[in-house]
Structure 1
Amino acid sequence: MMKLRDLVEQPAAQQLLRLSARDFARLAGYLVVLAAILAFAGLAAEVAEGETLALDRAILLALRDPADLSDPLGPRWLEEVARDITGLGGHAILAGVTLAVVGFLFLTRKRGAAALVLGAVAGGMLLSSLLKVVFQRPRPDLVPHAVEVYTASFPSGHAMLSAATYLTLGALLFRVADGWRVRAYVLSLAILTTLLVGASRVYLGVHWPTDVLAGWCLGAAWALLCWLVALQLQRRGRVEPSDDQAP
């Protein structure tokens, strides 16, 4: 009589187990997307009702010199560093990085991956702009702004777009990197960059903390959703497989 171990070692059984693991990971990904969207919706409702204003004000004031609200806490060089970091989430920088990556993917005949990156970032920019128009939350006027701003406050476009862009690029590099150490490094760098950009917006006084938190939630959800769709298209042969999955 065939033992359970012998049954599992059969090629068909191994393929079924791998398929189940992929399906489980994909389902977990969609659940994370749903959770992030629900978190954003909850934040949006609280912001619309003014329930977060006291906490937002407390955090912004805690980051300023009580004797001079125009002066963020910390040495002068830290403010300059924050300005440099916040630029990584600006439209010009993100557009330049995206076009450079898309050009590279196109020249290396990864046209499906190029379309993925371009669609994820462009779609994120459009979604961010539409949400700002819908919510029309004023920028913080509690403290002087350390950089110029022109658009509405909720959600933070820098936080959302840096998440959508850097997490998408991180996922792209993750799939072609060799070894878990390199993959962990790539994803950690993408996440850290996203977090630093969002934190710099609060430190510079141009966003309420809840603006940034909402931007992170929606940007991460958007990046993950785009990637899950890309994986589905890859299974149908419409997006090129990564080198380690190529036949």
Structure 2
Amino acid sequence: MTREMVVTLLACSLACFAVVAAFGVVVQQDRSPMDGFDQWGRQAEDWADNHTILLTALRVVEVGFATVGMIAWTTLIVVAVVGRRRYRAAGFAIAVMVVTSVATTGLKLWLRRDRPEWQYTTDLLNTHSFPSGHASSSAALAGILGFLAWSLVGPGPRRTALTVLAIVVWVTVCFDRVLLGRHFPTDVVAGSFLGVGVLLLGIAVFDPARVRVRGRAKPGVDSSGRVAGGR
């Protein structure tokens, strides 16, 4: 990875963190300029509350991508990557998910934003709301999956399927948090930026597409499906 790429990744990561910080400041105000956006969450939860089948599906998503679920999904990715002897990429995936979780928890404890008063009544959450842990971890997980797909998998149906899966998972989890009323929309947006910011930072630090062959580092798969730098 070139120095210019590292600088760009770090700059984009800092920009994401700046967005999270801005949201954190705004939502702490008594009359937040984002109140109108957050109130959309009440309407979304009211609508979902009238669809029993949808609520059941949303609960499945909620449980499947909670802490235990995220550990399981991350483990699957790590096992798959280690199976291809991409240990740097495995360390990258673990580090990004751990840092995202710790950063999310730290911000929750610092800002102490209450949950929406209209959240779905089954298994009410009393922990702090900002930023959304589901959103931050799903954004990080989706980013990891997408990055590894484009770095380590050659062009074709598998790469496309993994990319689409990553995007669908992230979007689904974000909507799940709003439709169940577990989070304000601003929590979800900030959580997503946090996850992406940590992801970009992890790429800059780990350069996870790089592999080592006979003691020498070499890049991952290029856009043609061949090892970059090879014949």
The bucket for the TM-score relative to the shorter chain is: 0.7 to 0.9
Shift of residue 126, structure 1, vs aligned partner = 1.2
Residue number in structure 2 paired with 1:10: none
SS at match of 1:151: coil
Partner of residue 168 from structure 1, selected from 144, 147, 153: 144
Instruction: Give the letter for the 2:43 counterpart.
Output: A
Give me the whole-angstrom Cα distance separating, in 1, the residues matched to 2:162 and 2:137: 18
Higher relative contact order (CA 8 A, sep 6+): 2
Q: Which moved more, 1:213-222 or 1:139-148?
A: 139-148
Partner of residue 208 from structure 1, selected from 159, 178, 184: 184
Shift of residue 218, structure 1, vs aligned partner = 0.7
Residue number in structure 1 paired with 2:113: 137
Give me the whole-angstrom Cα distance separating, in 1, the residues matched to 2:107 and 2:95: 18
- The verdict on how the C-alpha distance between 1:215 and 1:204 changes in structure 2, with shifts beyond 3 A counting, is same
**In the alignment, does 2:24 pair up with 1:44?**
yes
Instruction: Give the letter for the 2:44 counterpart.
Output: L
Shift of residue 199, structure 1, vs aligned partner = 1.2
Superimposed CA distance per residue, residues 50-109 of structure 1 (whole angstroms, 9 cap, x where no aligned partner): 3156325521232244xxxxx735532111122222334211111012123223333443
Partner of residue 79 from structure 1, selected from 55, 61, 81: 55
Partner of residue 114 from structure 1, selected from 68, 90, 114: 90
Larger radius of gyration: 1
Superimposed CA distance per residue, residues 93-132 of structure 1 (whole angstroms, 9 cap, x where no aligned partner): 1101212322333344322221111111111111111111
Shift of residue 195, structure 1, vs aligned partner = 1.6
- Give the conservation status (yes or no) of the 8 Å contact 2:92–2:208: no
Aligned sequence identity (%): 25
When the two structures are superposed, what TM-score results if normalisation uses the length of structure 1?
0.77
- Give the conservation status (yes or no) of the 8 Å contact 1:128–1:160: yes
- Give the conservation status (yes or no) of the 8 Å contact 2:100–2:140: yes
Instruction: Give the letter for the 1:89 counterpart.
Output: F
- The verdict on how the C-alpha distance between 1:125 and 1:90 changes in structure 2, with shifts beyond 3 A counting, is same
Give me the whole-angstrom Cα distance separating, in 2, the residues matched to 1:145 and 1:219: 28
- Ranges in structure 1 where 5+ consecutive residues have no aligned partner: 1-18, 66-70
Instruction: Give the letter for the 1:117 counterpart.
Output: A
When the two structures are superposed, what TM-score results if normalisation uses the length of structure 2?
0.81
Partner of residue 175 from structure 2, selected from 199, 214, 228: 199
- Give the conservation status (yes or no) of the 8 Å contact 1:86–1:197: yes
**In the alignment, does 2:220 pair up with 1:242?**
yes
SS at match of 2:117: coil
Instruction: Give the letter for the 2:19 counterpart.
Output: A
Give me the whole-angstrom Cα distance separating, in 1, the residues matched to 2:43 and 2:217: 48
Residue number in structure 1 paired with 2:41: 60
Residue number in structure 2 paired with 1:11: none
Shift of residue 233, structure 1, vs aligned partner = 9.2
- Ranges in structure 2 where 5+ consecutive residues have no aligned partner: 222-226
Give me the whole-angstrom Cα distance separating, in 1, the residues matched to 2:216 and 2:98: 20
